[in-house]
Amino acid sequence: MALLRGVFVVGAKRTPFGTYGGVLKDHSATDLAEHAAKAALAAGGVAPELVNSVIMGNVMQSSADAPYIARHVGLRCGVPIPVPALTVNRLCGSGFQSIISGAQEICLRESEVVLCGGSESMSQAPYAVRNVRFGTKFGADLKLEDTLWAGLTDLHVKIPMGITAENLAEKYQITREDCDNYAHQTQQRWKAAHEAGYYTAEIAPIDVKAKKGKVSMAQDEHPRPQTTLEQMAKLPTVFKKGGTVTAGNASVNEAFAPQYLSVAKALGLNPEKSNVNGGAIAIGHPLGASGARITAHLVHELRRRGGKYAVGSACIGGGQGIAIILEKC
């Protein structure tokens, strides 16, 4: 659809990605999105007053202000009050969907400039107690529900996402060794890309708390490039005894190594062209943010390589998927 009318990415920025419970745990998804959005507008030389629409992807809505995330990001960035804001939830594809929806608005001439993105703070996902709002019976055994874990389980079929990955591993004959080898490769690819400065252009450093005041965080916290194959082999499987998914070969897009390897096997993907600078197993996969992160990286990588086309994709809970194609002008 973007071919019908020129739709261009004029600025693409992201925060560094934290680890679960890491240095960014006190930053809400709105805070993180605001930081990245301001940096993207500045990088593209776009005045906030020119923005016609704000679209943000978010899944968990883990903070008190999360239902307002798209609106608050726009207002905090200086986007005019009359400009509409939309928060989209296509699970792990939410970040991609925000960009696709923005392109559709431009193609339909509903907007000229759209501020798009995705954000997530899985560290802030709360615990919940169900069915207490209108009172409980005496002696009721109330249960705390981990909303993060619940969100990673498809209750329609009562299957956690990790079991879906295990099912794919069985169907496509992906071994635990295959998964660990791939996870190790993606960590090493991230390390090489990081050391070469390939992530510098897309990252907007953010201040985080430290023992002696604030420090600037300018690189991803999640990667573990020092991890060896021997260490990975010792990790227990998480979802299935004798299975393939461990804490070392999953990121709870790539999300799980067997999922990526199954897709690569079924489609005959060239591994030398897939996740060339490391993927979510290394960087992390904060649900609604990943599509925006991948797109931002592809934009800068196309420019760096002088390439023509790039494809970003993600698996999505509930048996869905999403992809986006970028062309360098």
Q: List active site positions.
A: 92, 315
Determine the 3-state secondary structure of 147 from DSSP: helix
Determine the 3-state secondary structure of 309 from DSSP: strand
Give the integer Cα–Cα distance in Å for 190 and 220.
10
Give the integer Cα–Cα distance in Å for 121 and 282.
17
Q: What are phi and psi of 65, to 5 degrees?
A: -95, 5
Give the integer Cα–Cα distance in Å for 281 and 92.
14
In the numeric block, which tokens belong to residue 93? 């594809």
Determine the 3-state secondary structure of 87 from DSSP: strand
Between CA 179 and CA 51, with CA 16 as vertex, the angle to 5 degrees is 120
Q: What is the CA radius of gyration of the chain?
A: 20
Pairing of strands 144-146, 127-129: antiparallel
The sign of the CA dihedral 53, 54, 59, 61 is negative
